[in-house]
Amino acid sequence: MTVTGVRTWPNVAEWTGRIYSEGWRTAEGGILRVIEPATGEPLAEVGAAAPADVERAGARAARAASGWAATTTSERVDVLTRAARALREHSGAVREWIVRESGGVPAKGDYEIAAGLGQLQHAVGLASQPLGEVLTPQVPGGTSLAWRVPLGVVGVITPWNAPLLFAMRALAPALGLGNAALLKPDPLTPVSGGVLVAQLFREAGLPEGVLHVLPGDVETGRAVAADRHVTMVSFTGSTEAGREVARVAGEGLKRVSLELGGKNSIVVLEDADVEAAAAAGAISSFGYQGQACVAAGRHVVHADVVEAYTEALIRQAKALRIGDPRDDGVVIGPVISERQAARIERIVDESVAAGARLLAGGTRAGLFYPPTVLDRVDRTMPAFTEEIFGPVAPVIPFRTVDQAVEVANDTAYGLTAAVHSRSVPRATAVAQRLRTGMIHINDVSAKDAANAPFGGMGVSGNASRIGGTASLEQFTQWRWMTAPGPL
């Protein structure tokens, strides 16, 4: 297949129809065809990894893991540094692939590149952290030491909405701490979430066998989670899929890190800067078409300012240009698939039929779903109860802080939230009452940082975190050693 209109990096002829497992090789699962959401045209073909491919890759990764773990910290740091350099050098091509494959605008591509670089840079520092401690010996004159060692082979299963970032968020610390990895990118974004990642680490000089990239469907992911050589699984995706990954990995008593869905609230108190809050709300609900676990799915606004806030939100929604993300001025591109578009449409239509009022948007054209604002949303409606994963902003008024907290916490999810008030101490007091793993004051709900422990409560995860020093805990395990005398 000839890929048209996309930059020539990486060499299309080398990877088309193949998986990356000790070089580019033919997959037993056949071919996975990638469609460009904005045009509906074929964009690329990659290899589809079958369970047999996963089994072979797991065995090879296990053999390579011991040698990689035995390298010095400086050698691993050099690889991460060169990978970051390669990402900078190829940023134009990487951006174009993200735009074409995921339907995000160029600014979304730039964000993923910058965040991916941040993950690589933070992993450099993480690899140099102290890995152990000297313990008080039980025998006088003896030695007692404890230190962290790599897990071995880490399985990384990533979603389509931020494919490069989510791959780097797990791979950078996992590789930097001495693990090998099997990466299973989503079948909707196997190039920007897999092929590009393989090529970046290949150019960085990562030894063959340490990283395997295995695009595929649910069966491929299940094979990664179940593989006997995989000792830990890092999964980002829906709560439903996360439960299945946990079940499969649990059979092998593997460590599992789950970063799952969210039904996140922006709480706007009566003393908030309404225009600033509405701008943050618009970014949180409409950015990348709302296709983020950290998107705002509820706008919980004090009754005294709800009319002004809603009017400002409607203005924001109507001002956003929709279209092919490659066109100048476009802010809202297509959603990722027909399945996703139909889901958004169902949630909005059922909520309106149940009594919600449609104030902006609400009518799609193919995969293009406009920024949508709803009010008169009650707790029985799908717009309130379900994670929408689309550019929809349900507005719910409240009278007392207790009511606001109750509405925001009325969900099994607990990922992130934001609180807006001109009084930071007051906003902080409300934030402390919200059952979320992350909380932001006078800001968007959708934030990420390489040095922060990212993750949620409830069904938004399994209490695991990735980022900052939490990655040290995720991707290593303790070893204790004693001796009757000094070493």
CATH number at 164 reads 3.40.605.10
Q: Are 466 and 474 within 8 A, CB to CB?
A: yes
- What is the three-class DSSP state of 461? strand
d(CA 465, CA 445): 17
pLDDT of residue 8: 76
Share of the chain above pLDDT 90, in %: 97
Residue-by-residue DSSP string for 239-255:
HHHHHHHHHHHHHTT-E
- Whether residues 233 and 335 share a domain: the answer is no
For residues 70 and 147, state if they share a domain.
Answer: yes
Q: Within this chain, do residues 224 and 299 fall inside the same structural domain, yes or no?
A: no
Please determine, for residue 268, whether its predicted confidence score (pLDDT) is greater than 70: yes
Handedness of CA 396, 402, 405, 408 (dihedral sign): negative
Looking at the DSSP bridge assignments, the partners of residue 92 are none
CA dihedral 344, 389, 289, 356 (to 10 degrees): 50
Mean pLDDT of 337-342: 97
Residue 487 included in any domain: no
- CA angle 410/261/222 to nearest 5° reads 140
What band does 224 get if pLDDT is binned at 50, 70 and 90?
A: very high
Residue 473: Cβ within 10 Å count: 17
* Residue 4: pLDDT over 80: no
Helix-strand-coil split of the chain, %, nearest 5? 40, 20, 40
The reply to whether 403 and 279 lie within a common domain is yes
Domain that holds residue 350: 264-450
Active-site option among 208, 259, 307, 350: 259
Q: Is 101 a known active-site residue?
A: no
Q: Alpha-carbon torsion 346, 266, 102, 173, what sign?
A: negative
pLDDT in tens, 282-317: 999 999 999 999 999 999 999 999 999 999 999 999
* Rounded CA separation 133/136 (Å): 10
In a domain, 438, yes or no: yes
The answer on 56 and 36 residing in a single domain is yes
**Mean pLDDT over the full length of the chain:** 96
Structure tokens at 71: 């390298």
- Average pLDDT over every residue of 220-248: 97
10: preceding bond cis by omega (within 30 degrees): yes
What is the Cα–Cα distance from 157 to 260, expressed in whole angstroms? 12
* DSSP string over 323-384: S-TTSTT--B---S-HHHHHHHHHHHHHHHHTT-EEEE----BTTB---EEEES--TTSHHH
Q: Tell whether 275 and 403 lie within a shared domain.
A: yes
Rounded-to-integer distance, Cα 107 and Cα 416, Å: 23
**Long-range contact pairs involving 449-457 (C-beta distance under 8 Å, separation at least 24):** 449/118, 450/115, 450/118, 450/119, 450/121, 450/122, 450/169, 451/122, 454/169, 454/259, 455/259, 455/415, 456/259, 456/260, 456/262, 456/413, 456/414, 456/415, 456/416, 457/414, 457/415
Clarify whether 386 is annotated catalytic.
no
**Catalytic pick among 293, 311, 338, 350:** 293
In this predicted structure, the answer to whether residue 1 has a pLDDT above a threshold of 60 is no
- The pTM for the full model equals 0.95
Identify whether residues 247 and 269 lie together within a single domain. no
- Whether 5 is in a domain gets the answer no
Q: How many domains does the chain have?
A: 2
Residue 416 within a domain: yes
Looking at residue 6, its pLDDT comes to 61
Q: What are the pLDDT digits (tens) for 142-158?
A: 999 999 999 999 999 99
Percentage of the residues of the chain whose pLDDT score is greater than 70: 99
**What tokens appear for 471 in the block?**
């990655």
Q: What is the CATH number of the domain that holds 365?
A: 3.40.309.10
Tell whether 238 and 177 lie within a shared domain: yes
Q: What residue has token string 């040698």?
A: 67
Residue 273, judged by CB atoms within 10 A of its CB (0-12, 13-18, 19+), counts as: middle
Cα–Cα dist 35/44, whole Å = 7
Q: Give the pLDDT confidence of 154-210 residue by residue, as tens digits.
A: 999 999 999 999 999 999 999 999 999 999 999 999 999 999 999 999 999 999 999
CA proximity to 166, closest of 442, 437, 450, 405 = 450
Helix (H), strand (E) at residue 459:
none
**Strands 392-398 and 296-302, sheet pairing:** parallel
Mean per-residue pLDDT for 402-417? 98
Q: Is residue 309 included in any domain, yes or no?
A: yes
Q: What is the DSSP letter of 214?
A: -
Q: Could you give the CA distance from residue 27 to residue 214 in angstroms, rounded to a whole number? A: 9
Q: Are residues 269 and 253 in the same domain?
A: no
> Do 171 and 39 fall within a single domain?
yes
Mean pLDDT in residue range 215-220: 97
144 and 243 assigned to the same domain: yes
Tokens matching residue 475: 């991707």
In a domain, 297, yes or no: yes
Confidence of residue 3 (pLDDT cuts 50, 70, 90): low
- Indicate whether 231 belongs to any domain: yes
Predicted local confidence at residue 128, as pLDDT: 86
Task: Return the SS3 of 184.
Answer: strand
- Same domain, residue pair 214 and 256: yes
In a domain, 455, yes or no: no
Structure token pair of residue 444: 């968007």
Quote the CA–CA distance of 16 and 46 in Å, as a whole number: 5
